[in-house]
Amino acid sequence: MGQESSGNAGAKRTARKAVCALDLGAARVGVAIADELGMMAHPRGALAAKPRPALLAALKELVDEEKVGRIIVGFPLDMRGTEGEAARRAREMAQAIADATGCAVELFDERLTTVQAQRALTDSGVKGKKARARIDEASAVAILQAWLDARAERRAARRGGPTR
């Protein structure tokens, strides 16, 4: 397990697990998945946030279908970087997601990602009702891309090379 054949005679490579990000909302949960190289975040729509058991079952199905190994959950800190009620709820939900999916779940500061997502949608010509319908997945993309970029910068810093 953890190995897959590359099709070459006897050659094997480690199967890479996908990374998924979630933007938790009261009505919907935005979903994004990283590409195979772990460089770019791509939208995967939104799931109904309620009822909670149905959401957790849908996330388990997504994990199985997409071969997800890590889930990044947007962590709504306030602008001072402290935790409030929303952060407490996100922490609780992250634990429920970890329990339901068996994945490693990581909280990631999501401050300003909704603003970034709204700007990205506006810049791409998506406005009004269409933008409201897609804001959750766009926020998940912003969270995941920020996490991927931060990870790339940490790796480059460890190697002593330039960051992106």
Q: pLDDT of 95-151, one tens digit each?
A: 999 999 999 999 999 886 767 777 777 777 877 767 666 888 999 999 999 999 998
| pLDDT score, position 122 | 76
**Region 44-63 average pLDDT:** 97
- Mean pLDDT of the residues in the chain: 85
| pLDDT score, position 74 | 96
CB 15 within 8 A of CB 35: no
Distance between CA atoms of residues 17 and 4, nearest Å: 12
| pLDDT score, position 30 | 95
Distance between CA atoms of residues 54 and 56, nearest Å: 5
| pLDDT score, position 124 | 79
Categorize the per-residue pLDDT at 163 as very low, low, confident or very high, splitting at 50, 70 and 90: low
DSSP for 113-132 reads HHHHHHHHHHHTT--HHHHH
pLDDT of 85 strictly over 70: yes
Asked whether the bond before 51 is cis by omega within 30 degrees of 0, the reply is yes
Of 42-51, 79-88, 111-120, the range with the lowest mean pLDDT is 111-120
pTM of the complete model: 0.81
Check whether domain 14-159 has CATH 3.30.420.140, yes or no: yes
Angle at 123 between CA 122 and CA 129, to 5 degrees: 20
Distance between CA atoms of residues 81 and 29, nearest Å: 22
Rg, the chain, Cα only: 17
